[in-house]
Each structure stands twice: as structure tokens, then as C-alpha cells.
Amino acid sequence: MASLTASPQSPDFPLPAGASTTVRIEPPRGLFELRLREVWAYRELLYFFVWRDVKIRYKQTAIGILWVILQPVLNMLVFTLFFGRLAKLPSQGLPYPVFYFAALVPWTYFSYALSSTTNVVVDNQRLITKVYFPRLVLPFSAALSGLVDFAIGFVVLSIFCFAYGIPPTFAVLWLPVLLLLALFTALGVGLWLSALNALYRDVRYVIPFLTQFWMFASPVAYPSTLIPERWRWLYGLNPMAGVIDGFRWAITGHGQAPGLILLVSVAAVLLVVLGGLFFFNRMETSIADHV
Amino acid sequence: MTTVIHAEKLSKRYRIGERERYHTLRDVLTRALRSPLSFLRRSHHETFWALRDVSLDVREGEVLGLIGRNGAGKTTLLKILSRITRPTSGWAEIRGRVGSLLEVGTGFHPELTGRENTFLSGAILGMSKAEIERKFDEIVAFAELEKFIDTPVKHYSSGMYVRLAFAVAAHLEPEILLVDEVLAVGDAGFQKKCLGRMSDVSSHGRTVVFVSHNMTAMRRLASRAIWLDGGQIADSGPVAEVIDHYLRKNNESNLESVWEDERTAPGDDRVRLRSVRVIPLAAADGLITVHTPLRIEFTYWNYVPGAVLNVSMILNDLEETCVLSGGSGHGPRPAGLVRSTVTIPGDFLNVGSYYINAMIVKDGSVGILLQNNTVSFEVVEGEVVGSWYGRPPGAVRPKFHWETETFERRAVMASTVTEQR
């Protein structure tokens, strides 16, 4: 574990030789630590947090799974009607319902993961002030627990594709990569926002606006081909642009194959996640004093 | 024996502002807009040291008790040792798996069932899934909740909730256990069971550091104690010595409040409070036990000749529950210094910390002054009979006259008696 260091035995401080671990407790230092190994050491707790979130989510909603399906389906209907039938936006040769649903499934996951990651530190403040575990486990668990919703949405998406007679191609093998990219985007931004939210409680009110703007900055309601070619790379700085575009392509075989946009997206996400880890770890040392 | 906890000059400073629950971005932005250069200035928050230069060593298998008043730094020390918060300066090293119990039911969620919460809370407290599975039946049996284990805990009574929470915690088997004042809750029988389990833990060579206001339990469980006062170590050593020292010192400083200056004394131009005193009658070496009678004395200046005044004593316990109250009664009094005394007999109060609020009322209805926490004192157990070391339940513990007799004698065959054994 990253924070556990073996100390040399000094004569004035004899420690049992067989003791399993030694923890050194020190004031926070401004070192750059990722502390991912500690998260790995606590992976069972990570599993339990995800398990808890999923259980509670499905217990608390009366209609349970139906709600998870309904949300993207209703969005899809609205998009199909307004952006498709009325605004007549291009859909890369795909039927509108498939075109929108293929984007809404990853987008719904992303926005859910982002908002739960942002709130996870504040929502678990009681725990944070009462027991130690690597705080990083919390945002990781929040980003992961949305995957169950995603899986359900994905099944519905497959049914859609089947109903519209769109056969799967080898491109579906790209899906895990794209999903991972969405997860890390939510995690990376969520790391920043969750630490900020612990310091300033009104950050959570910004989330609905942020996700809304972000959605229109991503090719959810329209194809990315609407963006002029020479600005495409800049567009890729929004990692969700690569994810959404990639999803449509991976599922239907139509549209943009992952290219420049995706590469720029991956680079952008790496930066955001690394920065997020650093910022979160810096704040982590004092989070228990703030919440 | 070897040292498992070594702390060197641990200090923790809080900014007063940090004790506020939280800030909002809105506040920060408006402040920045109002005075844009304030970021350049070093913020001059008021700070205070919750812990100051605390060094200690705990040896393997030792049970160390932490005592001190509220806000003395006990919980802060536990929080640093359990890595919940980091020290501002100083360092510590801990050898072995640490488990900390700072509250009852850490990680419990009302929507989840008893079974689900057992796993969740166990995992949060540091048990592995396999470990919880192995101990699950034992935990449920300890909590006596076999029938309700698949019911969501939101339907539990508070007693059931506490029992399950404790059962999970009690089965945590770390090498070092850090326990905050959690023994204060739960019914007496269950408390006893938990204390029993805790002394089991320490007799198995595990190390325990715990905070408690229950001096009787502390005496029984701990071998050594540290008394924290204002974030610093006031005394440490064998548990009995430290507790006696602490209680005596505490009583010395808190048994009386005197307002020497008539002009600033609480009250107004009709009445001013001069002093409140607790006088232990026949207290051996400054300790107040459940057997010690206490004389409470109030003195005040009365400026209105013939005023009908009633001085009241309001006796509160640590949880601010009023244990009893009583007044001196009415009657016209001449102007001058007045003294009212009352005696709380021995064998009346229960073990605990008490605070006295003083109130003076005119003409039976006009409140003139109410002075909170004028004096405080600690009542400890007298000689302990049997193996009971919890606090007997009840707000008070009066000694009533009991009569016991066998009113119908019955011949018992010798064989029955032997069988029962």
C-alpha cells in the first residue's frame, strides 16, 4: 500500500517483528501521490459500496428497473420527434430511434455517473468522519455503480437494433473501450467536483446545468459531421464526443469510425483523471475536517 | 512486551472557520468580488489546538483509557490514530491491523436488511467478505436477532438497531482496537455483554485504546489511563491513580462559582447571584461517591426589602437531561446577602457527571435570572459488589428500605438440590 511504509527498527522503539503492517501517520505533505494501489487493496470495500448503491437504487424506486429503461426511452422519443421529424437533422442513414438511443444509453450513464460521483463525498460524510478507508474508493464506486443501469439500457438498445434489422458488426468489440472512456471521463471530472463539493456545498447545484450544456456540446442530438472538418480536433477535446460518436459506429457500423476525435479524447481524459486524482488526494487530507 | 503504537508530539490545529459545517462557493465568490485583493493577503482565521504535543506509547496487549472533559482532545486523538484525519504536526507509527469504533452503526443504511447491513458495516469497519461470512451466524446470535435478520433495519426498534450494530463491531478482530464513547448507549444488559466481550479482546493479547466517561468501566477494563486536558496530557499512569487525580482536580475547580464583583454578577438591580457551591459532606480524599451527601449552597444579594424570592436548583446530567429540580420556597426576605442551602442525601444520585443551573424567581412567576452550568461534579461508584461494572440504569439511585423474608417454608429433598447443580 502506498501510504504504508516499513520503518527501520530503532532500539528505543522496538516493534513486534511479526506484525503485519506498519502505518505511519504524518501531516499531509504536498507530494504527488496517486494512491491507486491503496484503492486496489480496498477493492472488497469498493465492491461493497457499489453493491450498496445498486441495492438501494433499486429498492427505493417503486418501479425499479422500469424507471431505468423509461428515462432514455422517453428522451429518445422527444429527440426523435423534435430533432428528427421536426428539425430534420441528419442521422447518418440510421433510423432516428436507433440513432438517438445509441447515443442516449452511454450519455445517460455518463450524466448519472458524473452527478453521483460529484455528490459521493458529501453523501458519505458520516462515514468519512467515523472510519478510515482510502477516500478515493468513494468516487470509484460511484462511477462504477451506474454500470448496472447501463447494462439494462444496453439490452434495450440491442432489442432496438434487432427490431430495426441492424446486425452487429465486429465494431462492437470497441464498445468496452468506449465505455471505459466514458467511465473515466465521469470519474475524472467527478474527482474534481466531489472534492470541490465537499469544500463548497453549492457545487452540486451546478451539475444539472453542466450536464445539460455538456450534452449539447456532444453529438447526442446531432451527428458530429455537422461540425466543420477543421474544428473536429477541438471538438474531440470533449471526450464524450469521441464516446458518443464511437458508440453509434460500434453498434450500427454506420457513421464515424473512431479516429482523430477519439485520440484527442483519450489524451484529454488522461489529463483530467490525473489532475483529478492529484486534486482529490490533496483535498482528501482535510476532507474529514470539512464535511 | 513490544510497542504497537508510538506517537511523537501529535498536534492538531483547527481553524475556527473549519468547525462551521461548510462553506459555499457563493460566499467565496461574493467575498472575492467585494475585495478582489483578499486572496493575496494571508487569511487570518482564528485557530485553536485540539491536540498539542501528545506523545505516547502503547504496548501490545495493553488497554489504555483516555479520560478528560468534553473537548479535551480525546476524540481528536482517536481520529488521528485511526487515520480519519491527519495531524498538523508530529507523527505516529502503528504496528498491526487497526479497527476503530467511533460510533454505533457505522455505514448502516435504513433501507437495507439486517443481513445486508451486517455485510456492509463489517466491510466498512475492515472485515473481509470471507471473515463476515464465517462469523455471520455468531453475529446474529450475539445480537439476538435471528428472526428479524431479513427485515430492513428501518423497521427495527432503536434497541434492535444498536444490538446489531454492536454485534458487528464486537466481532471485529483487529490487533489494535480504538473505541470512542460507544458504550454509553444500549440497555444495561447488553452493555455488560459488550464490556465482557471487550475484556475478552484484551485478554487475547489485543491492544485497546478507549474513551469513556464511565469511570467504573474504565477502572475495570483499562490498565493505564491518559488524562487529556485542553489537548495536552495532564497525567498518565496506572488507571486508578489517573482517574482519582482527574476527579479530584475536576471537583476542586468546579465545585464552586463565586462572583466577587457585585456589579458584574448575574442578575439585575433587584437580585444578583453571588455564589453557588457544592460541599461534599464526609468525602474521603475529595471523591464524591454515590454514598456521599452533598450540600448545595446558593448565596445572593437581595436589593428589594421584603421581596418574595425563590432560588431553584436545576440538576442536569451530561446529556443535559434534568435529573431533578427544587426550590427554596417563597417568603419575604429583607435586603442583604441571602443564603439558601439544600442537602442531597447520600445514596440518592446515580453514578455520573452533573451540572447545576441556578434560577431565581420573584413573586412565584417573574424570572430574574437563570445561570447555566454554575457548578459541576462527578459522582463515582462506591465499593463495587459482584462483577457488575456498568452504570446501573436509572436517573437516580435512592436507597430504599427493602424487606425480604421467606414467608412459606418448604422442605426440599437433598437430591433435587444436587441435580440443579
Give chain A as a DSSP string. Answer: -TT------BTTB---TT-S-EEEE----------HHHHHHTHHHHHHHHHHHHHHHHHHSTTTHHHHHHHHHHHHHHHIIIIIIIT----TTS-HHHHHHHHHHHHHHHHHHHHHHHHHHHHTHHHHTT--S-TTHHHHHHHHHTHHHHHHHHHHHHHHHHHTT----GGGGGHHHHHHHHHHHHHHHHHHHHHHHHHBGGGGGGHHHHHHHHHHTTTTSS-GGGS-GGGHHHHTTSHHHHHHHHHHHHHHS-SPPS-HHHHHHHHHHHHHHHHHHHHHHHHHHHHHHH-
Chain A nearest-CA distance from B20, in A, is 8
Going by pLDDT thresholds of 50, 70 and 90, the confidence category of residue B404 is very high
Which residue is closest to A25 within chain B, CA to CA? B92
**B103 and B78 in contact (C-beta within 8 Å)?**
no
Find where cell 442536569 sits.
B316
CB contact under 8 A, B123 and A131: no
From the list A19, A22, A132, the residue facing B82 with the nearest CB is A132
What stretches in chain A show pLDDT beneath 70?
1-20, 29-33, 61-62, 254-258, 290-291
End-to-end CA gap in chain B: 41
User: Residue B35: its pLDDT value, please?
Assistant: 62
Q: Where in chain B is the domain with CATH 2.70.50.60?
A: 257-380
Beta bridge partners of B343: B295
User: Residue B273: its pLDDT value, please?
Assistant: 93
Chain A nearest-CA distance from B120, in A, is 6
User: Residue B415: its pLDDT value, please?
Assistant: 57
User: Residue A221: its pLDDT value, please?
Assistant: 83
From the list B84, B91, B123, the residue facing A132 with the nearest CB is B84
Cα gap A178→A239, rounded to integer Å: 10
Beta bridge partners of A118: none
Cα gap B76→B82, rounded to integer Å: 10
CA-based nearest residue to B296, from B210, B397, B375: B375
Total residue count of chain B as it appears in this document: 421
Beta bridge partners of B65: B210, B225
Mean pLDDT of all residues belonging to chain B = 83
Cα torsion through A237, A239, A242, A246, rounded to 10? 170
Mean pLDDT over B47-56 rounds to: 90
The full set of domain ranges for chain A reads 36-275
From the list B2, B18, B92, the residue facing A16 with the nearest CB is B2
- Complex ipTM tops 0.85: no
Residue B103 gets which letter from DSSP? S
Cα gap B234→B246, rounded to integer Å: 9
Q: Which residues of B touch A290 (CB under 8 A)?
A: 18, 22
User: Residue B195: its pLDDT value, please?
Assistant: 65
Find where cell 475484556 sits.
B199
Residue window 5-44, chain B: list those with CB within 8 Å of chain A.
6-7, 10, 14, 18, 22-26, 28
Q: What are phi and psi of A6, to 5 degrees?
A: -80, 135
Cα torsion through A215, A221, A226, A229, rounded to 10? 40
**A221 and A241 in contact (C-beta within 8 Å)?**
no
CA A78 to chain centre: 25
Q: Tell whether B195 is within 8 A of chain A (Cβ).
A: no
Going by pLDDT thresholds of 50, 70 and 90, the confidence category of residue B179 is confident
The contacts found for B240-244 with CB under 8 angstroms, 24 or more apart, are: B242/B65, B242/B67, B243/B67, B243/B215, B243/B218, B243/B219, B244/B285, B244/B287
Mean pLDDT over B120-136 rounds to: 91
Q: Tell whether B284 is within 8 A of chain A (Cβ).
A: no
Q: What are phi and psi of A222, to 5 degrees?
A: -150, 160
AA letter at B185? V
B211 against A15, higher pLDDT: B211
Residues 6+ apart with CB under 8 A from A244: A103, A106, A107, A218, A219, A220, A224
Cα gap A223→A102, rounded to integer Å: 12
Which residue is closest to B102 within chain A, CA to CA? A130
Going by pLDDT thresholds of 50, 70 and 90, the confidence category of residue B225 is very high
Cα dist. A79→A87, A91, A231 in Å?
10, 12, 25
Q: Where in chain B is the domain with CATH 3.40.50.300?
A: 3-249
Q: Which residues of A touch B2 (CB under 8 A)?
A: 14-16
User: Residue B142: its pLDDT value, please?
Assistant: 87
Going by pLDDT thresholds of 50, 70 and 90, the confidence category of residue B44 is low
Q: Is B322 exposed, middle or buried (0-12, 13-18, 19+ CB in 10 A)?
A: exposed
**A12 and B70 in contact (C-beta within 8 Å)?**
no
CATH class of residue range B3-249: alpha beta
Cα gap B178→A55, rounded to integer Å: 31
The C-alpha cell at B414 is 437433598
User: Residue A238: its pLDDT value, please?
Assistant: 87
Cα gap B221→B196, rounded to integer Å: 9
| pLDDT surpasses 60 at B42 | no
The C-alpha cell at B331 is 417568603
Cα gap B113→B153, rounded to integer Å: 5
The C-alpha cell at A13 is 522503539
Cα gap B216→A64, rounded to integer Å: 52
Positive or negative: CA dihedral A268, A271, A277, A280: negative
CB contact under 8 A, B111 and A59: yes
Q: What are phi and psi of B336, to 5 degrees?
A: 135, -170
Residues 6+ apart with CB under 8 A from B292: B280, B281, B282, B283, B346, B379
User: Residue B103: its pLDDT value, please?
Assistant: 80
Residues 6+ apart with CB under 8 A from B100: A131, A132, B78, B81, B82, B84, B125, B177, B178, B179, B180
Residue window 98-117, chain B: list those with CB within 8 Å of chain A.
98, 100, 102-103, 106-107, 109, 111-112, 116
Fold exhibited by the domain B257-380? Coagulation Factor XIII; Chain A, domain 1 (2.70.50)
Cα gap B68→B234, rounded to integer Å: 9
